[in-house]
A and B are shown apart, each in its own frame.
Chain A
Amino acid sequence: MADGATLAMPRAEAPGGASLKRFARRRSTIAFLMTLPLIAVIGGLVAWPAGYAIWLSMLNRRMTQFIGLGNFEILLDSETFRMVIFQSVFFAVTAVILKALIGFWLAHMLHHLPAKGQKKWRGMLLVPWVIPPALSTLGWWWMFEPTYSSINWVLAIFAVPAVPWLGEPWWARISVIIVNVWYGAPFFMIMYLAALKSVPEQLYEAAAIDGATGWQKLRYVTLPMMRNIISITVLFSLIVTFANYDIVRVLTNGGPRDLTHVFASYAFQVGVLAGNIPRGAAVSLFMFPILAVIAFFVLRGVNRRTKEEL
């Protein structure tokens, strides 16, 4: 490849349309070769398995027979799975909204600080995002543990009765969301902080001269300036949160009564643990259309706004 490129150079210097065209052709060949590994990774390890998953989801348990949409039909018939759909959507939407709000609030607060102190606080608040979530969830699990819960110990000081964090379905759902928000809010914070910094100071000054209150500045200056980054972050986080597996796996394993299962953990249980690979594939494929629809609208909005700005 390098040789080919070296050979191309002298010719490129030569005058004449033909050699320029050849240069362009050669350039696209080289460029294609350079992207080939990327294409191999995406094609071989993402696109092909995704297609294969669709095929798998249409087989019977022993993978000996084609049953069309049978697995999807069976799943939709099952109350447990309908509950998994509800829980996945509830979990992802609530967690993302909370993460965005908390992240926005913290970014705003950080933005008020003088530049020197900012770095220290930013560093502390980012810690949850750096620890691998499977491991930090272990810490949370231990804090939620019914007999030894250190959170309940703190609550007891304020005379709050012990909370069955992982035992009651709604508390368990809340616990899973708490951990996810704890892990993900710093990411939003850092993205919004970067965005806040990129809002020109003059806009605020202009707004101040117009007599805008803090709220009005937020509403008419900050938010419009950050719309794209908010959309992108929310989209990215929604995708990641919908696909969350480690927190549920470590914290509740889907319990109690399967009420905290999300698509990924349920797919793992059905597909790998209970040995029904096709049905597990069908479970995990359910997220795709949901994500694709959301992504389509978010990205369309972003593109439209980018075009308006231009």
Chain B
Amino acid sequence: MTKGISRRSAMRAGAGVLAAGAIGAPMVHAQGSAGNLRFAFWDHWVPGSNDALRQLGARWAERNRVNLTLDFINTTGNQLQLTAAAQAQSRSGHDGISLAPWDPGAYADQLEPVDDVIGRLVQKYGPINPVGEFLAKRQGAWRGVPATSGTQNKPALCRFDLLQQHAGIDVRAMWPARGEKGPGADTWNWDTFLAAAEKCHAAGFPFGLPMGSLTDAVDWVGGLFASYGARITNERGEPTIRGNQQLRQVMDYAVRLSRFLPNDVWAWDDASNNRALISGRSALIFNPPSAWAVAKRDAPQVAENCWTIPMPAGPQGRFVAYLPWTTGIWAFGRNKNAAKAFLEFLSERESAEFTTNFSGGYDIPPFLSMADFRVWETEGPPVGTIFNYPLKPHHDARYSIAFSPAPPELASQMYIQALNTKVIARVAQGGETIDAALGWLEREINNMRRGL
């Protein structure tokens, strides 16, 4: 597990997952005169990060005299998503729960609208990013509050030494730890990326880009598709595959790129790319800073040469893979006002910064105005390595979520089945033609839509 990533959480030598106390120990606070509240949050991959929510929760619960219990549920094997499904079906369980990107839409009719909370927050901190809004605002109302804890970007985490040496790209010059672009930043597009991938592959340090079915793979491919403007369905979920030139173009690109990847990326999970980087065998991965943080512990000579930069730009602009969590409040809950107040408290700038600090800069707040937390400037070595991890104005980038703008019920199935990586794999690994693979994709989507 990622360890020692936060400056505030003590570095427990050699400790792994458990030393950080990952269990959702129930905490009960004095005289719950304002009732009981129970939340299920995403069990953070960065050890110690759950403590941020625990401490914030304790502070808030005491002030408001609420009995607050926090559970932290893991997403391995999609347990958090399963819990949400079970609770939605039995109409009982937690008061509020962390929802995976597409789930606020999927459960929209069972979630309490939180427009009042969002309204007040937006007034204070400016707009929420468009992807967060697209996912959380459904059927005319906000179905949850976009969360800070767990929300991550997946920009390019580079080995600047290897990229310099083998591809002749100085990523630190392009994207310095300052609020401006450096020389050559405008050439950071997918074509440059492909050339660099080829050279690093030839040098024995292939880019570690997963093509499997888990979120890291689906998310970065989603970003790639978005930057080519390639959509596989429209807002109603109808496939827009036939005669879609952008889609063919991006498929063609992805197939060419995949020749320069390790030959087993088709089976990579969310940790394989991290291992590829930490082992020193890869020059670039798309990942939050957790991989760098583990390298800092296990392979310091690798970590010192890491630098995070935005994803390359495509014909339709620069998009950064984004995995947002939303905290929803079940409409069947009993203490909805207290739940809203708690979420509002967690979304305030001070709380968000507290959370982000605990995660060593991993967490991304939903408000674009909060891209300036100090933690991103000070983390190192090398200092400034994650300066460009949050989306900053000078990046000229937008967030992307794979399979938008499909309706959530369909999108969440496409996301879980990883249709975007599979369609590429059918061509690149399975040897099908692009036409055949796209035909498969269309049939698969139509099949998903049947009997919904």
Q: Do chains A and B touch in the complex (CB under 8 A)?
A: yes
Which residues 255-302 in B have Cβ within 8 Å of A in the complex? 262-269, 272, 275-276, 279, 281
Q: How large is the interface on A (under 10, 10 to 19, 20 to 34, 35 or more residues)?
A: 35 or more
A169 touches which of B211, B265, B279, B429 (Cβ 8 Å): B429
**B-chain residues with CB within 8 Å of residue A80 when the two chains form the complex:** 444
List residues of B whose CB falls within 8 A of some A CB.
77-78, 81-82, 85, 106, 211-214, 262-269, 272, 275-276, 279, 281, 412-413, 416-417, 422, 425-426, 429-430, 440, 443-444, 447, 450-452
Q: What is the bound-complex CA distance between A228 and B412, given in angstroms? A: 50
Stretch at the interface among A16-24, A141-149, A180-188, A195-203: A141-149
Q: What is the bound-complex CA distance between A29 and B158, given in angstroms? A: 76
A-B contact pairs, 10 of them (CB 8 A): A60-B451, A62-B452, A70-B450, A165-B264, A167-B262, A167-B267, A169-B430, A269-B417, A272-B85, A274-B416
Taking the complex as formed, is A252 at the interface, i.e. its CB lies under 8 A from any CB of chain B?
Answer: yes
Taking the complex as formed, is A301 at the interface, i.e. its CB lies under 8 A from any CB of chain B?
Answer: no
Give, as a whole number of angstroms, the nearest-CB distance from B238 to chain A: 17
Q: What is the bound-complex CA distance between A267 and B213, given in angstroms? A: 16
Find out whether the CB atom of B443 lies under 8 angstroms from the CB atom of A146. Answer: no
Q: What is the bound-complex CA distance between A249 and B78, given in angstroms? A: 12
**A-chain residues with CB within 8 Å of residue B77 when the two chains form the complex:** 249
**A-chain residues with CB within 8 Å of residue B444 when the two chains form the complex:** 78-80
Find out whether the CB atom of A269 lies under 8 angstroms from the CB atom of B267. Answer: no
Find out whether the CB atom of B422 lies under 8 angstroms from the CB atom of A71. Answer: no
What 1/0 mask marks residues of chain A from 47 to 89 whose CB sits below 8 Å from any chain B CB?
A: 0000000000000111000010011001001111000000000
Closest to A258 in B: B422
Taking the complex as formed, is A253 at the interface, i.e. its CB lies under 8 A from any CB of chain B?
Answer: yes
Q: How many A-B Cβ pairs are below 8 Å?
A: 99
Q: What is the bound-complex CA distance between A252 and B269, given in angstroms? A: 9
Give, as a whole number of angstroms, the nearest-CB distance from A35 to chain B: 34
**A-chain residues with CB within 8 Å of residue B85 when the two chains form the complex:** 272, 275
**Additional A-B contacts beyond A78-B447, A146-B272, A275-B413 (5; CB < 8 A):** A61-B451, A80-B444, A167-B266, A253-B213, A256-B211
**A-chain residues with CB within 8 Å of residue B262 when the two chains form the complex:** 146, 167
Taking the complex as formed, is A205 at the interface, i.e. its CB lies under 8 A from any CB of chain B?
Answer: no
Known: A78-B447, A269-B417. A146 touches B213 (CB 8 A): no
What 1/0 mask marks residues of chain A from 143 to 185 whose CB sits below 8 Å from any chain B CB?
A: 0011110000000000000001111110010000000000000
**B-chain residues with CB within 8 Å of residue A304 when the two chains form the complex:** none
**B-chain residues with CB within 8 Å of residue A60 when the two chains form the complex:** 451-452
